[in-house]
């Protein structure tokens, strides 16, 4: 279905480039109109790029910035980010996309070729199993399902990435594990259970990252009308405060005990 309202793209792309890009990646119809079901993705993507841009400003311009999109799917975010870096920020970037759906990866590689985005490469793999042998600056994901978010954070840590950005999706594993806990009177209401699982799961991820020295912020990166899954976790290597690093593991263990969670991330990290 075609959207007949007005959508402003918040970045001053060249209109011809923008039309070609949006058509190639499937935000626009062949006639250059927004697909109704992509309007929310457009809003999420630009809000996400806003966050990545702040990180890019802190990274050296002397070499290409290497970024990894985990659970990239159709890669709307990464294609637009690449164009933005290239034409607006004038930054050399290399973007690697990983997804375990080989059809989507095939399509992304074809699109990158069509657009002549020669520093974008996509690989069919689970995030956890993928091996990268270049220095990576930023690892990110937008709605990587369930434990794919944990795999992405673990990749970020293993790759020694300076920035980790995660907007998590459904947390099936944690939801299944949350049976006996002191907030049953709240979680018996379905929407609250969902929110509680999201809050606890992401907080536990944050604590594990703080334990490893990452300074972590958790915030709404876009208005909830554009996605109910609008919480971003941003970790910056080596910026945790001393007391955060010292207390994180104790707090983490308290949450494990209270809620009976066993987050996949704990198993994927080498913890001191």
User: Going by DSSP bridges, is the β-strand pair 138-144/65-70 parallel, antiparallel, or unpaired?
Assistant: parallel
Interacting residue with ligand SAM among 52, 95, 108, 142 (CB under 6 A)? 142
Question: Any contact of residue 73 with ligand SAM (CB under 6 A)?
Answer: yes
What is the x/- site pattern for ligand SAM, positions 23-62, by CB under 6 A? ----------------------------------------
Q: List the structure tokens of 69.
A: 């999109």
The CA distance from 18 to 59, in Å, is 26
The CA distance from 52 to 201, in Å, is 23
Interior/surface letters 162-177, b for 16+ CB within 10 angstroms, e for the rest? bbbbbbbbebebbbeb
Q: Scan residues 102-121 and list those touching ligand SAM (CB under 6 A).
A: 104
Q: How far is the CB of 181 from ligand SAM (least distance, A)?
A: 26
Interacting residue with ligand SAM among 100, 109, 119, 247 (CB under 6 A)? 100
Interacting residue with ligand SAM among 23, 126, 247, 251 (CB under 6 A)? 126
Question: Any contact of residue 169 with ligand SAM (CB under 6 A)?
Answer: yes
Tell me which H or E stretch contains 142. Answer: strand 138-144
Question: Any contact of residue 150 with ligand SAM (CB under 6 A)?
Answer: no
Q: How far is the CB of 241 from ligand SAM (least distance, A)?
A: 31
Is residue 169 within 8 Å of 229, Cβ to Cβ? yes
Helix, strand, coil percentages for the chain (3-state, nearest 5): 45, 15, 35
- When the beta carbons of 128 and 213 are compared against ligand SAM, the nearer one is 128
The CA distance from 134 to 131, in Å, is 10
What Rg, from alpha-carbon coordinates, does the chain have?
Answer: 19
Residue nearest to ligand SAM (CB): 73
The CA distance from 8 to 113, in Å, is 27
List the beta bridge partners of residue 233. 166, 218
Question: Any contact of residue 99 with ligand SAM (CB under 6 A)?
Answer: yes
Q: How far is the CB of 5 from ligand SAM (least distance, A)?
A: 21
Q: How far is the CB of 68 from ligand SAM (least distance, A)?
A: 11
Please state the separation of Cα 15 from the chain's center in Å. 27
- When the beta carbons of 72 and 265 are compared against ligand SAM, the nearer one is 72
Stretch that binds ligand SAM, among 19-27, 94-102, 216-224, 238-246 (CB under 6 A): 94-102
Stretch that binds ligand SAM, among 56-64, 83-91, 111-119, 140-148 (CB under 6 A): 140-148
Tell me which H or E stretch contains 268. Answer: helix 264-268
* Interacting residues toward ligand SAM by CB under 6 A: 71-74, 76, 98-101, 104, 126-127, 142-145, 148, 151, 169
């Amino acid at each position: 279905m075609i959207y007949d309202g007005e959508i402003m793209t918040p970045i001053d792309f060249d209109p011809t480039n923008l039309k070609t890009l949006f058509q190639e990646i499937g935000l626009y119809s062949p006639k250059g109109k927004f697909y109704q079901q992509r309007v929310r993705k457009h809003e999420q993507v630009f809000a996400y790029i806003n966050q990545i841009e702040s990180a890019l400003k802190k990274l050296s311009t002397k070499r290409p910035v290497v970024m990894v999109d985990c659970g990239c799917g159709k890669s709307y975010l990464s294609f637009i980010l690449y164009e933005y870096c290239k034409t607006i920020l004038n930054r050399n970037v290399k973007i690697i996309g990983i997804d375990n759906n080989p059809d989507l990866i095939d399509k992304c590689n074809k699109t990158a070729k069509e657009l002549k985005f020669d520093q974008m490469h996509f690989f069919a793999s689970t995030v956890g199993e993928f091996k990268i042998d270049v220095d990576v600056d930023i690892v990110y994901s937008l709605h990587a399902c369930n434990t794919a978010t944990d795999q992405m954070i673990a990749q970020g840590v293993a790759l020694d990435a300076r920035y980790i950005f995660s907007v998590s999706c459904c947390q099936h594993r944690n939801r299944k594990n949350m049976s006996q806990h002191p907030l049953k009177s709240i979680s018996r209401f379905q929407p609250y259970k969902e929110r509680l699982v999201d809050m606890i799961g992401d907080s536990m991820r944050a604590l594990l990252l703080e334990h490893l020295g990452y300074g972590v912020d958790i915030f709404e990166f876009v208005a909830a009308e554009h996605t109910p899954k609008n919480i971003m976790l941003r970790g910056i290597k080596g910026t945790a405060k001393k007391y955060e690093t010292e207390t994180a593991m104790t707090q983490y263990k308290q949450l494990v005990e209270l809620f009976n969670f066993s987050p996949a991330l704990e198993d994927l990290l080498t913890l001191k």
